[in-house]
Structure 1
């Protein structure tokens, strides 16, 4: 079952979030320390992903154009509105609901592990990478929920949809896209994703406030630019 990996990943986030609600009575100081620890770990992961590149020009162009497109589409604002809508209906007294939803969605969605794992699932039916990601996301959900609230639980839905779409597309395109191009595209997505993950980590530690969601179009632009470069240059 090619979609099993994404399902397990989503269930791990739900389970971790529910367990995290039990830990919400810990002191604010502990929550702050744990949150900053998560931020440090996220930054470290982003650095590991981002440094493996020789395509700085394409990355900068993709980031800048992607940011312009994201700001025009108001992606961050729309995600916050969705989080506030969910908060209104499911957690009226939780002021951190929207922040928890947006932050956890970005952490769980952006990253090479989910992309590569979803592609592996679609190409070969191998879900091992997604199972590993599920374990990591489950523990991350516990800590995020303890710090940011129940909004983290609802991030399981976009994670499930996003990874399933990649899996389904990969299962169809494998017969048409050169293997070399797939390798190049995964590397490019990983590098852009690494930079966005660093920004998420800085936000989690509250060192700055970067509208990371508005950079998401840069991932798509990177794919387009690298595809054009592969076929025409």
Structure 2
């Protein structure tokens, strides 16, 4: 029973619905300042994962190669295109206040950031795999608290479109939960450590983006998560 993925997706959906419903009823100081806290929390979680690294070179190599792949595939542009296609119909049903949303660039920067934070963070991916093997949902339940409040606050500005982030989150978390029995036996503690470190770096720069400090192309960095354990395994075999 995928308890963790279910709770995580439900918390994101409820947070987005509540935040979008409340809208301007949330004081402006909370809408402006809490995202900074969420960004700081993401950076803190990222740092806690990076310090578990086994070997840094394969992690850095994975990030470089993964980012190159993401740039060539234009993953971030793809997410932005999907967001634009979905945003129009949703705004017709639930009109939003553009003065809250801000510029198109600001909207995309925030939306892509939360999609990655909810769906493809190292914590979420590892939590789903870990529960699939051990049955322990604690990692994803802990992540659910952050996702609930993050979705609520960002939905006050972005509107009901934040609910659509549950779709990739559901697909990824449930998919990994059911694939865990195949993936985890092929890994080693060293590979998991480097995977966590790679995810931690992506979470750290996601925090920078959510806080409005620097708009890293985080979606384009995601392929690194697919190749880091493979590179870590062979790096350890040849140089470890």
| TM-score using structure 2 length | 0.84
Distance, in Å, in 1 between the alignment partners of 2:113 and 2:179 is 26
* CA displacement 1:1-55 (0-9 Å, x = unmatched): 2x33212211111101111124421344431112222212222222222233242
1:221 aligns with 2:231: no
Does the CA contact (< 8 Å) of 2:113 and 2:218 recur in 1? no
Q: What is residue 104 of structure 2 aligned with on the other side?
A: none
Distance, in Å, in 1 between the alignment partners of 2:200 and 2:138 is 22
> 1:104-183 alignment to 2 at 5 Å?
104-173=114-183, 176-177=185-186, 181-183=187-189
> 1:6-17 alignment to 2 at 5 Å?
6-17=5-16
1:210 aligns with 2:216: yes
Distance, in Å, in 2 between the alignment partners of 1:117 and 1:219 is 14
Per-residue deviation, 1:63: 1.2
Q: What is residue 83 of structure 1 aligned with on the other side?
A: 83
> 1:91-106 alignment to 2 at 5 Å?
91-92=91-92, 93-94=95-96, 96=101, 98-106=108-116
Distance, in Å, in 2 between the alignment partners of 1:147 and 1:202 is 19
Distance, in Å, in 2 between the alignment partners of 1:121 and 1:27 is 38
- State the secondary structure of the residue aligned to 1:91: helix
Distance, in Å, in 2 between the alignment partners of 1:230 and 1:207 is 35
- Give aligned pairs, total: 228
- State the secondary structure of the residue aligned to 1:52: coil
Task: Rate the CA distance shift 1:172–1:224 in 2: closer, same or farther, 3 A.
Answer: closer
Does the CA contact (< 8 Å) of 1:39 and 1:200 recur in 2? yes
Per-residue deviation, 1:57: 1.0
- State the secondary structure of the residue aligned to 2:233: helix
* CA displacement 1:125-165 (0-9 Å, x = unmatched): 33333233223321222222224333321111111111112
Which residues of structure 2 form unaligned runs of 5+?
102-106
Does the CA contact (< 8 Å) of 2:56 and 2:194 recur in 1? no
1:19 aligns with 2:18: yes
Distance, in Å, in 2 between the alignment partners of 1:54 and 1:122 is 23
Per-residue deviation, 1:173: 4.2
CA RMSD of aligned residues (A): 2.3
Which residues of structure 1 form unaligned runs of 5+?
none
Per-residue deviation, 1:219: 1.2
1:64 aligns with 2:74: no
> 1:30-45 alignment to 2 at 5 Å?
30-45=30-45
